[in-house]
Amino acid sequence: MNNDSPEKTTHFGYRQVAVEEKADLVGEVFHSVAKKYDLMNDVMSLGTHRIIKRFTVELSALRPGMKVLDLAGGTGDFSLLFSPLVGSQGQVVLADINESMVRVGRDRIIDKGKSGNISYTLANAEQLPFTANTFDCICIAYGLRNVTDKQAALNSMFEMTAPGGRVLILEFSKPVNPLLGKAYDVYSTLWPKAGQLITGDGESYQYLVESIRMHPDQETLKQMMQEAGFENCEYHNVMGGICAIHVGHKAASR
Amino acid sequence: MSVTKLPAASPRPLTKVNSIFHSTIYSLIETGLNQALSLDPGTRKQMESLSGKCIRIHCQSPRLLLNILVCEQHLSLSANEALQADISIKGNASALMKLLVTRNTANLRQDGIVISGDVGLLGKFQAILQNLDIDWEYQLSKFIGDIPTQFTHDSINAAGRFAKKTRHNLEEDIDNYLHDETRLFPSEAELKDFYKSVDVLRLRVDRLDSRTGKLQSILADAISD
Ligand SMILES: C[S@@+](CC[C@H](N)C(=O)[O-])C[C@H]1O[C@@H](n2cnc3c(N)ncnc32)[C@H](O)[C@@H]1O
């Protein structure tokens, strides 16, 4: 954020809040929605979020023995999908800034008996606490828009990516067709109400709607990835750009 | 540290071949296959030696790309060209289906099927893919959850029935063929000819893919580090 005023502020949806405060506010949002998150995901994605997630996993090009970081992994959906792909010789790391999300994720994964190759870390995407060049794939799904300094996060992700590896960014984006954009805009104004009904927490979804509208569009995000060092950056529009999956590569070094 | 530019095989622009629609179908098939595998310890055991191997099925009409990756006792399907395949099969849908269902490698040439890579893997993949009985309806409800199941229920069931019927018809055809046409069994000369052309093809593909191979070793080094 290029805000030089002494009191540093950032977006929290449409509200301007102090930078330090944002991490807490984001935390609160996910504390309150962790459990009923899945159902709301169905509502927001018209029931397609599982398929979009799977599609993203297909783009990971992972295979047995590889290491993958499920960044902003929350309740662990992606970790669960990655786990069988990398197998017992591989490694999945679920990292999230929010302790209660990590806990929910871990409980879920243990419940499903899939904990073998998955480990958990409390981490801020802006400053990842891993060794450089570690992961064959880093995936951040519906997480980047919550990060205060997105460029810092992309830089950190680039550093942690192994040469020859890739990064996947799944995020709500800008519908390519203005009519669809309009329709989805109108539809998304229903989320806070749906969120209130389903999770008893409309405010969180008000925040989601706003944060989605504030998020950089496809081309902007692609440029930011290139700036971080990723090569051959591409994106897939899903459902006409309601979501987009960006893929970037770190050159193999020798 | 000098930086090697990635060969074209890995970061090739994302093609239209992989889409969310493929993903939907593949996830259904994948769940079905793994469900069937979970009931079949013998095949699972057999798969273990194939772990990490990937077969790419390149269907030309309709245009479709399918990777089947063996992950220990689990099969993973995808349409991502960036995933390196160990063996690749090209052909049209009916020929590919025939090949995968019947385990008949003799008519490859006639059917216009082209194989590259480690041809020896073909039989092993066929063995795994054969005769898995899949409950599509159950798989679908498990995967998609409550909301859209009502919508898709009928159409997918129809698709499942269609697939079953197709397979059934195909099996019947093949059965008839087996009984009527002794010619199906290839002569030794034909087989030799086939294997020879496979070898030639393999050499050519190897040469073309030497850059890809380089990447593979670089990746392997990076992983083992
Ligand atoms: C919408 S959830 C996505 C969860 C999961 N990736 C999925 O797709 O189901 C967003 C997650 O991002 C996490 N998050 C927000 N800011 C973060 C940051 N700076 N670093 C790491 N995680 C963060 C939140 O705690 C939350 O769990």
**Residue B218 half-sphere exposure, CB side, CA atoms within 13 Å?**
21
Do B158 and B60 belong together in one domain? no
Residue B199 lies in a domain: no
Residue B187 lies in a domain: no
pLDDT of B36 higher than 70: yes
Mean pLDDT of B37-55: 88
CA dihedral B135, B138, B140, B144 (to 10 degrees): -160
Strands B74-78, B64-71: pairing is antiparallel
What integer pLDDT is reported at residue A207 of this predicted model?
Answer: 84
pLDDT class of B102 with cuts at 50, 70, 90:
low
When mean pLDDT is compared across A84-98, A173-187, B164-178, the lowest value belongs to B164-178
When mean pLDDT is compared across A16-20, A88-92, A147-151, B169-173, the lowest value belongs to B169-173
Do A78 and A53 touch, CB atoms closer than 8 A?
yes
Mean pLDDT of B99-119: 75
Angle of helix B20-38 relative to helix B41-48, nearest 10 degrees?
110
Mean pLDDT of B55-79: 88
Residue B4 lies in a domain: no
CA-CA distances (angstroms) from residue B103 to A67, A235, B115, B120? 35, 38, 14, 13
Do B69 and B166 belong together in one domain? no
Residue B202 lies in a domain: no
pLDDT class of B29 with cuts at 50, 70, 90:
confident
User: How many other CB atoms sit within 10 Å of the CB of residue B8?
Assistant: 12
Mean pLDDT of A6-34: 56
Do B144 and B113 belong together in one domain? no
Burial of B55 per CB tally in 10 Å (0-12, 13-18, 19+): buried
When mean pLDDT is compared across B56-65, B191-200, B215-224, the lowest value belongs to B191-200
Looking at residue A103, its amino acid is R
What integer pLDDT is reported at residue A6 of this predicted model?
Answer: 44
Do B25 and B79 belong together in one domain? yes
What integer pLDDT is reported at residue A36 of this predicted model?
Answer: 66
| Ligand 1 centroid distance, CA of B119 (Å) | 44
pLDDT per position as a tens digit, B206-219:
666 666 667 667 77
pLDDT class of B155 with cuts at 50, 70, 90:
very low
Residue B38 lies in a domain: yes
pLDDT per position as a tens digit, A31-62:
444 556 767 777 777 667 888 899 999 999 99
Mean pLDDT of B187-192: 57
CATH code, B52: 3.30.1050.10
Say if pTM beats, i.e. exceeds, 0.90: no
Residue B66 lies in a domain: yes
What integer pLDDT is reported at residue B7 of this predicted model?
Answer: 40
What integer pLDDT is reported at residue B202 of this predicted model?
Answer: 60
Q: What is the largest CA-CA distance in chain B?
A: 65
Do B82 and B170 belong together in one domain? no
Do B74 and B165 belong together in one domain? no
Looking at residue A162, its amino acid is A
Do B108 and B34 belong together in one domain? yes
Does residue B141 or residue A185 have the better pLDDT? A185
Task: For chain B, give the mean pLDDT.
Answer: 67
Residue B151 lies in a domain: yes
Do B77 and B110 belong together in one domain? yes
As a whole number of angstroms, the distance between CA B223 and CA A163 comes to: 10
What integer pLDDT is reported at residue B119 of this predicted model?
Answer: 87
Do B150 and B63 belong together in one domain? no
Structural domains of chain A, ranges and CATH numbers in brackets: 23-249 (3.40.50.150)
pLDDT per position as a tens digit, A107-145:
888 888 877 899 999 999 999 999 999 999 999 999 999
In chain B, which residue's Cα lies nearest the Cα of A44? B147
Residue B216 lies in a domain: no
Please tell me which of the candidates A85, A239, A253 has its beta carbon nearest to residue B71: A85
**A124: Cβ below 6 Å to ligand 1?**
yes
Do B85 and B155 belong together in one domain? no
pLDDT class of B178 with cuts at 50, 70, 90:
very low
Show residues of chain B in contact with A58, CB under 8 Å. 18, 23, 26, 78-80
What integer pLDDT is reported at residue A20 of this predicted model?
Answer: 58
What integer pLDDT is reported at residue B34 of this predicted model?
Answer: 87
Structure tokens at B48: 């273990």
Nearest to B65 by CA among B96, B36, B35: B96
Domain count, chain B: 2
Show residues of chain A in contact with B213, CB under 8 Å. none
Question: Could you tell me the residue range of the domain that residue B169 belongs to?
Answer: 136-181
Residue at which a domain ends, from B114, B130, B146: B130
As a whole number of angstroms, the distance between CA A123 and CA A128 comes to: 6
**A98: Cβ below 6 Å to ligand 1?**
yes
DSSP code, position B7: P
**CB distance from A232 to chain B under 8 Å?**
yes
pLDDT class of B110 with cuts at 50, 70, 90:
confident
Do B109 and B62 belong together in one domain? yes
Do B29 and B125 belong together in one domain? yes
What integer pLDDT is reported at residue A88 of this predicted model?
Answer: 94
Does residue B125 or residue B197 have the better pLDDT? B125
Nearest to A44 by CA among A207, A155, A228, A235: A207
Tell me if A51 and B20 make a contact (CB, 8 A cut-off).
Answer: yes
Show residues of chain A in contact with B223, CB under 8 Å. 65-67, 136, 162
Task: For chain A, give the mean pLDDT.
Answer: 85
